[in-house]
A and B are shown apart, each in its own frame.
Chain A
Amino acid sequence: MRALHELLADKAFLAETMRKLMLARKFEEKVFDLFAEGKVHGTTHLGIGEEGTAVGTVTALAPEDYALVTHRGHGQVLAKGSHPNDMMAEILARETGVNHGRGGSMHLSDIRYNTLGMDGILGASCPIACGIALSFKMRGVTDRIACVFFGDGSMNQGAVHEAFNLAAAWKLPVLFVCTNNTYGMSTPLWKVVADTDLTKRGIPYGIQTYEVDGNDVLATYLTACEAREYILREQKPAFIVEHTYRTSGHSKSDGNKYRTKEEIAEWKAKNPVIRFTQVMLGNGFSPEEIAEIDRETTRVIDEAAAYGESCPNPTATPEDLEKEVYAS
């Protein structure tokens, strides 16, 4: 594992990290715009402001690791390597989408890059991650992990606690990542738990636990690297609580009535893209170099939207769909 000063000296790594942050941000801003234009069917859950957790954590994963992402997982799937075109086409419900328009934003994931999940049932991916890790263990594969994301809102789901216990009891290589964005939809964490220190949730299960400022992408990356190394070395699960904030609404139904404009503005000012911009400027990047990443990612996302909109709708008949239900 590299030290912070080594990362700061690695210009290519820093530029790539910013590229991933901006890609996630601009992808979701584009989805928001397309939604406002009435081009996105159904619903979508944006994680604007949470990019540091997605990029920092997923960058620490190896290609062969699995990431079980959340319903708010666009940034996680992008960071694992999926192409924005395939993802945008899915969100626009097209046949060429990564899930052929069968899943949409909420179930978007890409098996080619070992992302699974995008689960609409909160916490349900945690037991599934245990099974993925169990398959590694039973096959004697010790170089990869299953990383599962969930939010502070899911932290009280029985499935999460049952998975913590199973992973610990069976010594499974699972990285549990709680993206603590302060609200479960509109409900603040303090209202629904007696103790808001979620790191304590790892203790009774004997799970090695880490805590990090999720808006600091490098700190998140380093923490995830440390946790991943621990998992591979000990062949045991680990748990990270990553603190962040969702500046976008929960979904299209969100009127932001549960929080103040001042609170949102305060978090926007310390969002991970702005914070990482300062890090880059302090470590040898010029504003123009950063602006170039901005332009490049904007172009990629504009192209993704244009691609998605140009793609055909699925033409499957109900009878065709019935045939898809079962593997033959």
Chain B
Amino acid sequence: MTREITYAEAVCEAMSEEMRRDPDVFFMGEDIGVYNGAFGVSKGMIQEFGEERVRETPISETAYVGAAVGAAMMGMRPIVELMFSDFMAVCWDQIANEASKVRFMLGGAVKVPMVLRTASGGGTGAAAQHSQSLENLYCHIPGLKVVVPSTAFDAKGLLKAAIRDDNPVIFLEQKKLYRVKGLVPEEDYAIPLGVADVKREGADVTVVTYGRMVQMSLEVAEKLAAEGVGVEVIDVRSLVPLDRETIIASVMKTKRAVIVHEAVQFSGFGAEVAAMLADSEAFFHLDAPIKRVGAYYTPIPFNPILEASIFPTPERIEAAIRETL
């Protein structure tokens, strides 16, 4: 049966169902017990699974992310919640030098099946150290998979796939989406990592996006549809592995591409997508330069007007689309 639940509830449901299904799955993080985590995601989990499997950690990211690497090598399937994705910098060594590389360094002798779930993105007034979108850092480390769900449905299905995956997966939940509701089946389903989702079809321009920007891009597409402009919105869902074929095929059809992300535009994921398109068959079909819409090159300011000003807005997305027409 399908019913409406929030993105946060969908994440909780994915974790709980996987923990019921597989005794090797367990959950670690700060304040994930009776507090339910900083964003209230793990409501009810400590009551159901107990303190052994819903394991509250000291504020010691290096210790518990490293412990997840060790437990994963032993065949456990840890899910780690890092309260804010910005804290990844605190335990970067365990992610960039250990989780991602140990399998390769040992000649394939071990697997590291772990998920690092973390709250990403801005728009909450949390200022410079609690609002970043750092996905491109992880994309640059071979050995990590990088997933950014944009809806409650995707959050549940992608997280299940991530937990079942035999590799370290960085799962970047969008803070601003936690309370957004969507239709989610009660039954078990997993969305394979590396398959993009065409969230809206259109004939005139392709918007490649993910995370919080998907909904914003869809709103712009809706507005432009009234003028007869068909905007195709592709939600890549997983940045690594990336569904190149779907993006390239769409751009070959529409002949125009706009890439939208909340992360800083400079050296962001959009640069990779733009370069990939320029380096593909799609290049010969382009009728306009590829456009990117990302955040300005600044730390996230505290003041709400200033904060909103640096992120992509519907107006900026619309303007970029119009430039390609």
Q: Which of B63, B145, B166 contacts A165 (CB 8 A)?
A: B63
B108 and A107: CB pair below 8 A? no
A-B contact pairs, 15 of them (CB 8 A): A99-B107, A102-B105, A107-B105, A109-B106, A111-B106, A111-B109, A127-B65, A128-B69, A128-B70, A128-B73, A128-B94, A135-B74, A135-B76, A327-B108, A327-B166
Q: A-facing mask of B42-82, CB < 8 A → 1, else 0?
A: 00000000001101011010111111111111111010000
Please tell me if B167 contacts chain A, counting CB pairs below 8 Å: yes
> How many A residues touch B, CB cutoff 8 Å?
42
Tell me, yes or no, whether A324 is within 8 Å of chain B by CB.
Answer: yes
Q: For residue A135, which residues in chain B have a CB less than 8 angstroms away from its CB?
A: 70-71, 74-76
* Given A136-B74, A158-B62, A166-B58, 20 new contacts (CB under 8 A): A97-B107, A99-B106, A102-B106, A116-B73, A127-B63, A130-B70, A131-B66, A134-B70, A135-B71, A138-B26, A138-B53, A159-B62, A159-B63, A163-B63, A165-B60, A166-B60, A166-B63, A169-B58, A326-B166, A327-B166
Minimal beta-carbon separation of A15 from chain B (angstroms): 32
B71 touches A162 (CB 8 A): no
> Which residues on A sit within 8 Å (CB–CB) of B53?
138
Q: Tell me the smallest distance from the CB of B32 to a CB of chain A, in Å.
A: 15
List A297-328 residues whose CB lies under 8 Å from chain B: 322, 324-328
Contact status A128-B98, CB under 8 Å: yes
Taking a contact as CB atoms under 8 Å apart, the answer to whether B62 and A127 are in contact is: yes
Q: Are B69 and A131 in contact (CB under 8 A)?
A: yes
Task: From B58, B72, B110, B145, give the contact of A111 (CB < 8 A).
Answer: B110
CB distance from A167 to the nearest CB of B (A): 9
Residues in A124-148 with C-beta less than 8 Å from chain B: 124, 126-136, 138, 146
Report Cα–Cα, A159/B74, bound state, in Å: 20
Q: How far is the CA of A166 from the CA of B30 in the complex (A)?
A: 13
Contact mask for chain A residues 228-258; partner B; CB cutoff 8 A; 1 contact, 0 none:
0000000000000000000000000000000
Taken together as a complex, chains A and B put the C-alpha atoms of A129 and B78 apart, in Å, by 15
Is residue B256 within 8 Å, beta carbon to beta carbon, of the partner chain?
Answer: no
B64 touches A166 (CB 8 A): yes
Assuming the contacts A124-B93, A131-B73, A162-B60, asked whether A103 and B66 have C-beta atoms less than 8 A apart, the reply is: no
Interface residue total, chain B, C-beta cutoff 8 A:
44
Q: Tell me, yes or no, whether A61 is within 8 Å of chain B by CB.
A: no
Q: In the bound complex, what is the Cα–Cα distance between A120 and B111 (angstroms)?
A: 19
* Smallest Cβ-Cβ distance to A321: which chain B residue: B104
In the assembled complex, the Cα of A132 lies from the Cα of B78 at a distance in Å of: 12
Asked if A138 and B76 make an inter-chain contact with CB atoms under 8 angstroms apart, the answer reads yes
In angstroms, Cα B75 to Cα A203, docked, is 33
On chain B, the residues within 8 Å of A111 by CB distance are 106, 109-110
B145 touches A326 (CB 8 A): yes
Q: Which residues of A contact B103 (CB under 8 A)?
A: 324-327
Interface contact A103-B73, CB-CB below 8 Å: no
Q: Which 5 A-B pairs have the closest CB atoms?
A: A127-B66, A131-B70, A131-B67, A162-B63, A100-B107
A170 to B226, CA, bound (A): 60
B104 touches A325 (CB 8 A): yes
Q: How far is the CA of A78 from the CA of B324 in the complex (A)?
A: 64
Within 8 A of A (CB), among B125-153: 142-143, 145
Q: Does B97 contact A (CB under 8 A)?
A: yes
Bound-state CA distance A132–B63 (Å) is: 12
Which residues of A sit under 8 angstroms from B68, Cβ to Cβ? 131
Q: Which residue of chain B lies nearest to A162 when distances are taken between CB atoms in the complex?
A: B63
CB of A134, distance to nearest CB on chain B (Å): 5
Q: Could you tell me if B166 and A130 are in contact, using CB atoms closer than 8 angstroms?
A: no
Q: In whole angstroms, how far apart are the Cα atoms of A131 and B53 in the complex?
A: 13
CA A12 to CA B93, docked complex, whole Å: 44
